[in-house]
A = this chain, B = another copy of it.
Amino acid sequence: MAKLTKLEPLSNLSLVDKVEIRLTEYFKENNLKIGDQIPKELEFAEALGVSRTVIREALLRLRTIGMIESKKRKGMVLSQPDIIQNFEKVLESNLLGDKTLKDIFELRLILEMGMADLLFARKTEKDIEELSRIVSHEDDNGLDSTIFSLEYEVAFHGKLYQISNNSTLQRFQDLLLPVFQYVHDHMLPDASKFRYSGGKFISHRDLLNELIEGTPESFRVAMRQHLEPHFERVLTSFKS
């Protein structure tokens, strides 16, 4: 048989798909901004020559990603999509594959390593005080500082994200906490008896001191050592 050029279907888009595209085009064409009122369902239906059902389904998709909000009798308005919100349901669904979860775990390490410059540029006296409080509590409880304690881990690192003053980043981190925990518990080799290179362990207090007296560079070095067991596990068990 002769070799044929691949014949693609004329259009594998459903009616709702097309309407959805058309609607977003419409918003752009008319340069509509957040808070702007948009026509009602029946007007869209008539204008596009489709049933209200199809319009509703297309609009519902946009509502699902937070692009529009609707209230009874008031109609619909464009709204600021919440990037993080969509993440939430997806994560809660427990349907993410292991590869994706690993990717996200790595992402956290990347973020903590890359945050340093923002931290130094934006730290305040109050921030330092609060971090000190957290670290003190940790010490008071007389825990062997090499032991992983989730509570203080979350408190300390969470505060760092807060200092970054990047609310998108912060919310992202909040959301990812369960993922970290899951990956930590289930998918990586046990690191409870990890030997730090050179035997030197960098505690939260050490990190705090770096944040007070050090530089972004020195802080990164310290953070890298603090995260050493996590990096070790990621970089060895994920040969791809």
Contacts and interface: CB of A to CB of B under 8 A. Distances in A.
Contact of A113 (B28, B66, B83, B117): B117
Contacts of A103: 166-169
B110 A169 contact: yes
Interface in A211-231: 216-217, 220-221, 224, 231
A167 B117 CA distance: 26
A114 B118 contact: no
A235 interface: yes
Contacts of A60: 57, 60-61, 64
A11 to B, nearest CB: 15
B24 A95 contact: no
Binding site secondary structure of chain A: helix
B169 A117 contact: no
Q: How many copies of this chain does one complex carry? A: 2
Given A166-B106, A167-B103, A24 B114 contact: no
Interface string A192-215: 000000000000000000000000
Given A34-B97, A80-B95, A165-B240, A224 B117 contact: yes
A165 B217 CA distance: 25
Contact of A107 (B61, B122, B166): B166
Contacts of A33: 95
Contacts of A81: 90, 93, 95-96
Nearest to A63: B61
